[in-house]
Amino acid sequence: MPVEVIMPKVDMDMASGKITVWHVAAGDRVGQGDPLFDIETDKAAMEVEAAASGYLHHRVAEGTDVPIGQPVAWIYAEGEDVGAPPEAAARSAAGTAAEAGPGPASERAAETVPAPEPHAKTRATPLARHLAAKAGLDIGEIAGSGPRGRVQAEDVRGELHQPPPSKGAAPAGFTAENGPLAVSRSIGGAGTPIILLHGFASDAKSWGPLERHLGDHPIIRIELPAHGKSPKLRISGFADLVCEVRRAFDKLDLGSAHLIGHSLGAAVALAIADTRPKTVSSLTLLAPAGLGPDINGAALAGLGNATRPESLGPWLKLMVCNERLISDGYVRAAMSARADAGLRSAQSALADAVFPDGVQAFDLKSALDRIEVPTRIVWGKQDRIIPWQHALRAPGRVSLHLFDNVGHIPQFEIPDEVGKLLRAHL
């Protein structure tokens, strides 16, 4: 019997979610845990993973608004017949039974209602499974409050009655990993690819609001070490960080690409453009690091050390000008993506390596002077992480776009404006 893929509830205020992009084409094979699609909530994109392995069918269209708990696709096992969507078949069968009226046939149907599924097949959202696995909880032992008893993320959080960590407690260590950085791609697209490099304590999903404005270009997202799905590499400094990302860039084997980076990712993008000039068609730097020594070291430490939404929220709000953009649901979703203490510790180690003592230990002014491809810098004049005045160090051929009432994340705060700028140059 096929496994339904449902629209999860990641925000208590959500009644429905919009599918912004599918990462798997209809008919393709997926493995359990593979990314399936992104949903839009609170101006962010949340990635939903496959709860089972098999072949994906009956996808709803991108841009569709789907009620929470309703199926958006079905995963079929190897060799399983693919007919009409099971939900449609069930509705048809129900209508036939209703027309027939009560009697022996309906009584037999009632007798064949399947017994509750064992724990291994407990109905649960991907986020709930992720939280339960991280906490070492048996998902089958948690009572679900969602549609048809589905376990929601809030149900798992309700089981977690852990006392808050002691003040001043040192972050947990991490075991260094090896392996290539995580790379994800959009489906389809034509023309010169766009490569996106996110900032510190973020991940590839953060580009969701902007991606909708990038036209039909193929999109490739590279996640920094110890971020998203990339391994927890031990990074010794900025040059080491650039080396790792450039290795992932080179493996793409592209003839040309547009590079877009944010904050620390923008600094890495600039370094790659400097060392791979024949491959880069244009460069866009959003609130880039590397153009001056100043940086809000307290915010970096706060993001890295936060262990629960209550401590993460104030630092996230510092990233934007309009703090109302950072809703409670947004904070909870961001914290759930940082539930792994080892991930947080690895990110803190990375921050210490590239921003020792809360200072930008690398200067890319000379690299920016050498860039010959079309380059633009986009910055908010209410940035409380990196001073926007660093942009004034850019040479005259670099386009500067400075926005009032915008903080450190212009692609999140004003995605329409940033998208309009990019479309004019891509």
User: 373, 395 in Cβ contact below 8 A?
Assistant: no
Say yes or no: 157 and 245 in one domain: no
> Which residue shows structure tokens 């017949």?
81
Closest CA to 122 of 145, 150, 98: 150
Give whole-number Cα distances, 148 to 131, 168, 374, in Å.
Answer: 20, 43, 54
pLDDT value at residue 293: 95
Q: For residue 396, what are the CA distances in angstroms to 160, 171, 259, 372, 392? A: 55, 44, 20, 12, 9
Q: In this structure, are 129 and 226 located in the same domain?
A: no
Q: Is 118 exposed, middle or buried, given 0-12, 13-18 or 19+ CB atoms closer than 10 A?
A: exposed
- Residue whose token pair is 């069968």: 93
107 lies in some domain: no
Q: 371 and 247 share a domain?
A: yes
Any domain includes 91: no
Do 354 and 206 reside in the same domain of the chain?
yes
Residue 125 is predicted with a pLDDT of: 66
CATH number where 158 lies = 4.10.320.10
What pLDDT, on a 0 to 100 scale, did the predictor assign at position 301? 93
CATH number, position 323: 3.40.50.1820
Q: Is residue 289 a part of any domain in this protein?
A: yes
Residue 324 pLDDT? 96
Is residue 386 in a domain?
A: yes
| Residue 66 to residue 93: CA distance in whole angstroms | 23
Same domain, yes or no, for 155 and 187? no
Q: Is residue 53 part of a domain?
A: no
Distance, CA of 410 to CA of 210 (rounded, Å): 10
pLDDT at 318 (0 to 100):
97
Q: Which two tokens stand for residue 203?
A: 């991940």
HSE-up (13 A, CA, CB side) for residue 279: 20
Q: Indicate the number of domains in the chain.
A: 2
128 and 260 in a common domain: no
Range of 137's domain? 119-163
Residue 225 domain-assigned (yes or no)? yes
Same domain? 125 vs 223? no
Span 302-355, pLDDT tens digits: 999 999 999 999 999 999 999 999 999 999 999 998 999 999 999 999 999 999
- 142 and 222 assigned to the same domain: no
**SS3 of 17, please?**
strand
pTM as predicted:
0.65
Flag residues of the chain having pLDDT under 50. Answer: 42-44, 89-121, 147, 161-171
Question: How confident is the model at residue 134, as a pLDDT?
Answer: 67
Query: What six digits make up the tokens of 28?
Result: 């393709």
| Per-residue model confidence (pLDDT) at position 69 | 85
Domain assignment present for 415: yes
* Close Cβ partners of 23 (under 8 Å, ≥ 6 residues apart): 34, 35, 36, 37, 38, 47, 184, 187
- Using a 10 angstrom Cβ sphere, with 0-12 exposed, 13-18 middle and 19 or more buried, the burial of residue 304 is buried
Is residue 249 in a domain?
yes
Q: Measuring CA to CA, which residue among 305, 313, 343, 304 is closest to residue 331?
A: 313
The reply to whether 338 and 251 lie within a common domain is yes
Q: Are residues 147 and 224 in the same domain?
A: no
